[in-house]
Amino acid sequence: MSLQKVSLQKLFPFLKDDMKIKKIKVRAPATVSNLSCGFDVLGLAINEPFDTVELELTETGRIEIDDIRGCNTLSRDPAENVVGPVLRAMVTAMGVTAGFRVIIEKGIHPGSGVGSSAASSVAAAFAANLLFDNAFSSSELVGFAMEGERLASGSAHADNVAPALLGGIILVRSYEPLEIVPLNVPPELFCVVIHPEMEIKTSVAREILEKEIPLTTAVKQWGNLAGLVAGLFKEDYGLIGRSLIDFVAEPKRAELIRGFDRLKASALEAGALGAGISGSGPSVFALSRGEASARAVMESMSRVMHGEGVGFKAYLSPVSSQGAVIC
């Protein structure tokens, strides 16, 4: 599409003014990224929590964030909020003079490790695309939402935004060019997330990682990544569990999370297939076969948190097949 600026009336000449959708409200779910062995390339969606974004299409050419509910630490300046670069990139790609009025409702606490910035970015991109009459493909929307991640963490990664948009379990096969691959979701796969009441900035968690890793470490990580993908398609829960081991990020990031070793051990002792750090942390995830097993795991991990004297929230969910949706 030409980048020449055109008005909304010229963009949608086949619709009368009273027929045009100018305001919409959508939500996007929390996500667990990395899944231990898949740093920056694996992620899955869970049912809750979620972020909600309401967009109103205007012809002002400005992005205006009217309100942010559920969080008092985020900026309403669109240059400092993840929705800003997402919407600006989409308007530029459309070549229109459009602007947006935005209301954000944060159900996912920033710095929680379950895709807070991704959920807001995806909700904004998904809503804007609907207002633009579905002008962009899912892959293009992932690319736009990644601009929010770039602002939040300094890295435009897709392992949270892709499952937040599409649901399910997603593999990012390539970033240049971007290629997103939906993976099989075994029917009995459940996820538990424990979110301690602390915040770890993604940018900080990325800074402490080694820039280079030994070849022997990389080989072990590649084996686990391949094993996890194979386990998902074969619906081999044992193989899934044996593959949920991280030799790259977890050894560095574990020290940032109070009680992590005990949390992980309690999950495994309670029957979890595997457990690890969700994204950059501090949230810790565990995968289980079946809801009953997942509930036992959640109760075991919760007891550890009570023992640590740390406030927390606990979530139990199947892998959500639903990503961003209209509210």
Residue 150 sits in the same domain as residue 254: no
Residue 141 sits in the same domain as residue 115: yes
Q: For residue 28, give the nearest of 134, 135, 133, 108 by alpha carbon.
A: 108
CA distance 87 to 122: 10
Residue 136 sits in the same domain as residue 225: no
Residue 22 sits in the same domain as residue 147: yes
Neighbours of 322 (CB within 10 A): 14
Range with lowest mean pLDDT among 7-11, 78-82, 124-128, 225-229: 7-11
Rg (CA), the chain: 20
pLDDT for 17: 52
pLDDT tens-digit map of 22-46: 999 999 999 999 999 999 999 999 9
pLDDT at position 1 over 80: no
287 falls within a domain: yes
Strand 274-277 vs strand 284-289: parallel, antiparallel, or unpaired? antiparallel
CATH number of the domain where residue 38 is located: 3.30.230.10
pLDDT at position 4 over 90: no
Residue 155 sits in the same domain as residue 199: no
Which tokens belong to 185?
């979701």
Contact 148, 120 (CB under 8 A): yes
CA distance 171 to 162: 9
**Reported confidence tier of residue 207, pLDDT bands at 50, 70, 90:** confident
Residue-wise burial string across 266-282, b where 16 or more C-beta atoms lie within 10 A, e elsewhere: bbbebbbbbbbbbbbbb
Q: Check if 149 is active-site.
A: yes
pLDDT at position 123 over 70: yes
Q: Which of 31, 149, 176, 269 is catalytic?
A: 149
Residue 130 sits in the same domain as residue 199: no
pLDDT tens-digit map of 126-172: 999 999 999 999 999 999 999 999 999 888 999 999 999 999 999 99
The whole-angstrom distance between residue 152's C-alpha and the CA centroid of its chain comes to: 12
Give me the DSSP letters along 40-95: TTEEEEEEEEEEEEEEEEESSS-EEEEEEES-SSS---TTTSTHHHHHHHHHHHHT
pLDDT at position 88 over 90: yes
pLDDT for 201: 79
End residue of a domain, out of 182, 202, 234? 182
CATH number of the domain where residue 307 is located: 3.30.70.890
End residue of a domain, out of 134, 151, 182? 182
pLDDT for 317: 97
Residue 77 sits in the same domain as residue 156: yes
Share above pLDDT 90 across residues of the chain, in percent, rounded to a whole number: 84
Contact 145, 122 (CB under 8 A): yes
36 falls within a domain: yes
Q: Which of 202, 210, 235, 250 is catalytic?
A: 202
Cα dihedral sign, 192-198-202-208:
negative
Domain that holds residue 149: 8-182
Residue 97 sits in the same domain as residue 139: yes
Total domains in the chain come to 2
pLDDT at position 324 over 80: yes
Residue 81 sits in the same domain as residue 222: no
pLDDT tens-digit map of 217-230: 999 999 999 999 99
pLDDT at position 13 over 70: no
CA distance 277 to 288: 15
End residue of a domain, out of 135, 161, 182? 182
pLDDT at position 18 over 60: no
Q: What is the mean pLDDT of residues 111-133?
A: 96
pLDDT for 6: 44
Amino acid present at 225: L
Q: What is the mean pLDDT of residues 109-117?
A: 93
pLDDT tens-digit map of 255-292: 999 899 999 999 999 999 999 999 989 999 999 999 99
Residue 47 sits in the same domain as residue 84: yes
pLDDT for 10: 52
Q: Check if 202 is active-site.
A: yes
Strand 99-105 vs strand 63-69: parallel, antiparallel, or unpaired? parallel
CA distance 105 to 234: 39
Which tokens belong to 256?
């940032």
